[in-house]
Amino acid sequence: MDRDRRVLGGVVVVEQRGLVGVTTRQLADFALVKALSPMPVKDGPAPSSSVLSLFNPGARPEDAPQTVTWWDLAFLKALFDTRSDTLADAQRHEIRDRMLKEMAKVPADQR
C-alpha cells in the first residue's frame, strides 16, 4: 500500500455570498475532507451524511452536518487504506467494502 501520501498544502476558493449561514467549522471541515480526498467533481450531490453535502444544490448550511461525520472518517480511512495502483473499479469496490466495515463499528444512533 502507498503509505507515503502527504498533504503539503491546500487552497480553498469560495464566493463570499456562498458562505451565508456557513460556520467556520463547517467550512474548515469541508476543506479538510476535500483536500484529503483528491477526487474529480462528479455529477450529483454529495451524500447528506457527509460534510461535503454543505454546498449541495438547494442545501441549507443549518441542515448540513456541522462537522466531519462518521461517513467522512470512514471514507478517508478507507481511501488511505486502499491501494492506489489498482484499476478504478477495483479501488472503488475496495473503498466501499472498507467503509461498510468501518461504519458497522459506529453506534447505530450516530450513523
Q: What is the pTM of this model?
A: 0.80
Residues in the chain: 111
Same domain, 57 and 77: no
Digit-coded pLDDT (tens) for 96-111? 999 999 999 988 877 6
Place of cell 483528491: 38
Q: Domain tally for the chain?
A: 2
Start-to-end CA span in the chain (Å) = 28
H helices within the chain, ranges in order?
24-36, 70-80, 88-104
Same domain, 56 and 73: no
Closest CA to 61 of 32, 13, 18: 18
Digit-coded pLDDT (tens) for 58-95? 999 999 999 999 999 999 999 988 888 888 889 889 99
What is the residue range of 27's domain? 13-67
Same domain, 94 and 81: yes
Same domain, 18 and 59: yes
